[in-house]
Amino acid sequence: MYRRKSITFLVLAALFLMSAAWMPANAVPRQCVILEGFTQWNCPPCATWNPMETTLLGQMTRDTVISIKYHVTWPGADNDIYNHWNVAENGQRISMYSVSSVPTTKIDGTLTPSGSTWQQILTSTTNHIRNQYSVSSPCTIDISALYSGSTTVNYSGTITAESSVAGLRLFVALITNEEHAPPQGSNGETVWYDVFRDMSPNANSGLMLTAGAGETEEFSGTLNCDASWGADNMHVVAFVQNIGTRQIVQGANTSVDQNYGMVFSSVEPYQRMINPSNQEYTYSLYIDHVGLLDDDYTVQLSGDFPEGWSHSIESNGVEPNESSIQVSLSSLETAHLTVRLNPNSNPGFAEFTVSAVSNNEPLVYDEATFRLMGGLDILVVDDDAGEGFESYYMNAITPFAETTQKVLGIWDMHADVLDNSYFNTTDIIVWFTGNTFQNGETIAPFDQLILGDYLNSGGRLLLSGQGIGFDIRTDQFMNQHLHMNYVMPYPQGDAIEGFTGDPISDGMVFELNGGESADNQSRQHRIISIDDYATPILRFAIADDSADCAMRIETPAYRTVYFAFGLEGINSNQTRADLMTASLDWLFAGVAAEDIPVTMPLEFSLGQNYPNPFNPETVIPFTLAERSLVTLNIYDILGREVVRLASGVHDAGFHSVNWNASNLSSGIYFYTLEAESGTNSFRNTRKLVLMK
């Protein structure tokens, strides 16, 4: 019995040795799969595919797969700056794979995902990556990278060959993540991941490897970069490829280290509306020192602070100062900065910047800008979606504000949502919408609600935008608060004239577009008053009698001036300032009644939460036309109830509910309002995004 066991053991051992002899020598696991993608910012299908692929790669992580995205010169105009930064090497990789259409994906150089739908292509991509990751490799790659100056990244590493890699080629690429808002290309994409920047030693032949089995080969080189990218936004990818078959057999990636580097961060809102009679307001910011060497930072607080406001900046163990402090940090150490502002009961508008710069490397620099305002006489609401027209309005209003000693402030709707509570101490709102038109959101439904509430409470409003009339032509705000209707079609002329004897427009004649204008007026429209509350003040200088394009509205509760075009389109700065001054004079002259009762809403509605995306708190607004039994629930993307925010009977009127989602993970959620009142019922659902 013992002898049989020994024989059995020897036979099994022999079989094991025989099988080992047949195993491939290149039994090293894959470090990461290389996905090379080809795209362009004028390619409509790319705008669908790129976010889907990015989500997939994020789920699989860079320990499994990393992408390099090359930009091509077609199918749209040849104006993609990511191609233009390195035309030659983008072109060499395009040529290597004979890419003739975008989007195109190559996995490890030889595999192209297939399918007749995006979901099928996504599934094919996933399967290819998983299969390639399970294939063994003849070598390992060890690589590190160091940002050594404004235009250079140095890299070095070692190839360790388990079996011969002689004849294979090494390629080292630099990639970055980029964002453009508004989009620069025609397909609407604003975020671009893993953009190819440079390849070393080149993009077509690489570095010839000579290491045999069991040998190592060291390599080093440089990659070109731009100082504006920042080391924390750069990543280096190395891969070994057979350029004859195009097969990539191993890949590795690394972040870019730096001797002096930081991450400057803050979770504070860009803008705050305050009650200036309250006390101190604080802002928290952080410097994370990510450099390899110890560093000192100069931190500065600068800006335009209203008279009577006090301000200072301080850090851990550093005395507060009105303008500048020094902060010393070791590698991986964090400094907490605190900015303190106290209006001391003085109304005003402050726009201030906190900046930090390395004393050892001036290129290591970052800043954050904030706005704090309260007790305003005039609030300018910049609702142009980041188009940049605010200077036309501020330049036109500032002389009036200075002459009349009015407190002026500006709020950017593109950065933060405006709450109707912010209007409590504001006398006049100047709201403009820029180029937006025909999307139904020029003045969003919730914005109409808060403006209607503001006017009913005695507010005064100047509203300007070329697309407003079309977008709100069927909304209650158009006829109940502006007391006018939209007239089709929109006119083709740009000449505008005032009405004799009108307190705002008497004697005015001007043109839209050209000259000192924003040259953007293409959808200005005509309007017609529907009752005696609205009086025409400007008209297009054409023969048609229904060519009015501006109204002043005066009711017992409020005054409004509405322009059916963008004031930024007036071709003379002086004319724009004159028209603004006359309008503000008329608005300020009409003192609204002190105690105008707030009009109850005429319909049920569920507003969009604000802010959105949010972290971790948001506000959900809704209106009830009647006293109702209400439930307000939050659901996850699978339709499961997460929390019930409201339940029970609520009176008619405007309502809002705060939600703190600090105990939930990032993602898409939905909120549903159900209201029952007698025979009336209402149900609506909206989407919100928690982004931590």
Q: What tens digit of pLDDT does each residue of 472-529 get?
A: 988 889 988 999 998 876 666 789 999 999 999 999 999 999 999 999 998 888 899 9
- The closest alpha carbon to 621, from 587, 657, 572, 660, belongs to 657
Count other Cβ atoms within 10 Å, centred on residue 56: 17
The total number of structural domains that make up the chain:
4
Mean per-residue pLDDT for 126-147?
A: 96
- Establish if 547 belongs to a structural domain: yes
Helix, strand, or coil here: 590?
A: coil
Mean pLDDT for the chain?
89
The top-scoring range by mean pLDDT among 197-206, 447-456, 605-614, 668-677 is 197-206
Residues 456 and 500 in one domain: yes
Residues 350 and 449 in one domain: no
Residue 455 belongs to domain with CATH number: 3.40.50.880
Gap between the Cα atoms of 283 and 370, Å rounded: 9
Tell me which of 373, 399, 423 is where a domain ends. 373
Residues 494 and 513 in one domain: yes
* Structural domain of 273: 262-373
Mean per-residue pLDDT for 37-66?
A: 96
Of the pLDDT bands very low, low, confident and very high (cuts 50, 70, 90), residue 227 is confident
Binning the chain into helix, strand and coil, the percentages to the nearest 5 are: 20, 40, 40
At residue 391, the pLDDT reads 97
DSSP state of 569: G
At residue 160, the pLDDT reads 97
Residues 298 and 162 in one domain: no
- 73, 42 in Cβ contact below 8 A? no
Residue 354 belongs to domain with CATH number: 2.60.40.10
Residues 641 and 563 in one domain: no
Gap between the Cα atoms of 365 and 357, Å rounded: 4
- 35, 173 in Cβ contact below 8 A? no
- 356, 297 in Cβ contact below 8 A? yes
The better pLDDT of the pair 607, 664 is held by 664
At residue 492, the pLDDT reads 61
At residue 8, the pLDDT reads 37
- Establish if 25 belongs to a structural domain: no
Residues 309 and 419 in one domain: no
Gap between the Cα atoms of 674 and 631, Å rounded: 5
What is the CA 493 to chain-centroid distance, rounded?
36
Tell me which of 373, 402, 423 is where a domain ends. 373
- Establish if 167 belongs to a structural domain: yes
Count other Cβ atoms within 10 Å, centred on residue 87: 12
Residues 468 and 610 in one domain: no
Q: What tens digit of pLDDT does each residue of 552-561 get?
A: 999 999 999 9
Residue written as token pair 């490799």: 137
- Establish if 22 belongs to a structural domain: no
Gap between the Cα atoms of 294 and 314, Å rounded: 20
Q: Which residues of 502-513 are buried (b: 16+ CB within 10 A; e: fewer)?
A: bebbeebebbbe
The top-scoring range by mean pLDDT among 198-212, 405-419, 593-607 is 198-212
- Establish if 480 belongs to a structural domain: yes
At residue 490, the pLDDT reads 67
- The closest alpha carbon to 157, from 171, 144, 173, 140, belongs to 144
Residues 538 and 517 in one domain: yes
Mean per-residue pLDDT for 214-237?
A: 93
143 backbone φψ class: left, alpha, beta (φ>0; ψ -120 to 50): beta
Residues 405 and 471 in one domain: yes
- Establish if 580 belongs to a structural domain: yes
374-383, 414-423, 477-486, 493-502: range with lowest mean pLDDT = 414-423
Q: Is the pLDDT of residue 21 over 80?
A: no
- 35, 106 in Cβ contact below 8 A? yes
Indicate whether this model's pTM tops 0.75: no
- Establish if 106 belongs to a structural domain: yes
Q: What tens digit of pLDDT does each residue of 394-408 get?
A: 999 999 999 999 999
Q: For residue 183, is the peptide bond before it cis, meaning its omega torsion is within 30 degrees of 0?
A: no
Residue written as token pair 């976010």: 51
Residues 111 and 155 in one domain: yes
Alpha-carbon distances, residue 629 vs 301, 411, 442 (angstroms): 51, 36, 32
C-beta contacts of 502-508 below 8 A and 24+ residues apart: 502/535, 502/537, 502/552, 503/582, 503/585, 503/586, 504/537, 504/552, 504/561, 504/579, 504/582, 504/583, 504/586, 505/537, 505/538, 505/550, 505/579, 505/582, 508/538, 508/575, 508/578, 508/579
The first and second tokens of residue 298, run together, are 């100069």
CA angle 496, 498, 502 (to 5 degrees): 160
Residues 486 and 420 in one domain: yes
Residues 208 and 279 in one domain: no
State phi, psi for 602 to the nearest 5 degrees.
Answer: -95, -5
- Establish if 597 belongs to a structural domain: no
Of the pLDDT bands very low, low, confident and very high (cuts 50, 70, 90), residue 13 is very low
Tell me which of 347, 373, 399 is where a domain ends. 373
- 524, 434 in Cβ contact below 8 A? no
